[in-house]
Amino acid sequence: MDDFELDVASAKFLGLRGVEIKDLTGDVIISLGGDGTILHILSQINKPILGINFGGVGFLNELEPDDDILTAIDNISSLRYFEEKLHRIDTYLNDLNVGTAVNEIVLHTSRVAKIQGFEISTNGKLIDSFRGDGVIIATPTGSTSYSMSVGAPIIYPTMKSNIIVPIAAYKLGSRPLILPANYDITAKITGHPEAVMVIDGKEEIIINGKDKIEFKASKSPASLIRFNKNFFDRLRNKLRL
pLDDT digits (tens, 9 = 90+) for 113-164: 899 999 999 999 999 999 999 999 999 999 999 999 999 999 999 999 999 9
Whether 202 is covered by a domain: the verdict is yes
Q: What is the residue range of 194's domain? A: 89-217
Q: Do 132 and 179 sit in the same domain of this protein?
A: yes
Strand partners, 187: 120, 213
Q: How far is 191 from 64, CA to CA, in rounded Å? A: 45
- Percentage above 90 pLDDT, the chain: 87
> Are 98 and 194 in a shared domain?
yes
Domain at 33, CATH number: 3.40.50.10330
In a domain, 2, yes or no: no
Torsion angle, alpha carbons of 100, 103, 106, 112, to 10: -130
Residues 6+ apart with CB under 8 A from 47: 24, 26, 27, 28, 29, 223
pLDDT value at position 204? 93
Residue 182 belongs to some domain of the structure: yes
Q: Are strands 89-93 and 82-86 parallel, antiparallel or unpaired?
A: unpaired
Return the exposure string of 131-163: e unless at least 16 CB atoms fall within 10 Å of the residue's CB, then b: bbbbbbbbbbbbbbbbbbeeebeebebeeebbb
Q: Which of 2, 3, 35, 133 is catalytic?
A: 35
Over residues 186-198, mean pLDDT: 95
The rounded distance, in Å, linking the Cα atoms of 78 and 90 is 33
- Do 93 and 203 lie in one domain? The reply is yes
Q: Is residue 3 part of a domain?
A: no
Give the SS3 label for residue 82: strand
Are 137 and 185 within one domain? yes
Q: Is residue 147 part of a domain?
A: yes
Q: Does the pLDDT at position 173 exceed 80?
A: yes
Same domain, 82 and 112: no
pLDDT of residue 101: 97
Does any domain span residue 1? Answer: no
pLDDT band at 241; cut points 50, 70, 90? low
Spatial CA neighbour of 105 closest among 57, 154, 141: 141
Helices (H), the chain: 8-14, 35-42, 69-77, 146-149, 231-239
35 flagged as catalytic: yes
| 156 part of a folded domain | yes
Confidence of residue 2 (pLDDT cuts 50, 70, 90): low
Give me the number of domains the chain comprises: 2
* Confidence at residue 1, expressed as pLDDT on a 0 to 100 scale: 47
Residues 105 and 42 in one domain: no
> Is the same domain home to 100 and 175?
yes
**pLDDT given for residue 240 in this prediction:** 74
Q: Residue 122 sits in a domain of what CATH number? A: 2.60.200.30
> Are 74 and 185 contained in the same domain?
no
Cα–Cα distance, 209 to 195 (Å, whole number): 9
| 115/174 same-domain check | yes
Residue 205 sits in the same domain as residue 104: yes
Do 122 and 197 sit in the same domain of this protein? yes
Q: Does the structure show a pLDDT above 70 at 192?
A: yes
Average pLDDT, the chain: 94
- pLDDT band with cut points at 50, 70 and 90 for residue 180: very high
Same domain, 202 and 138: yes
pLDDT band at 54 (very low <50, low <70, confident <90, very high): very high
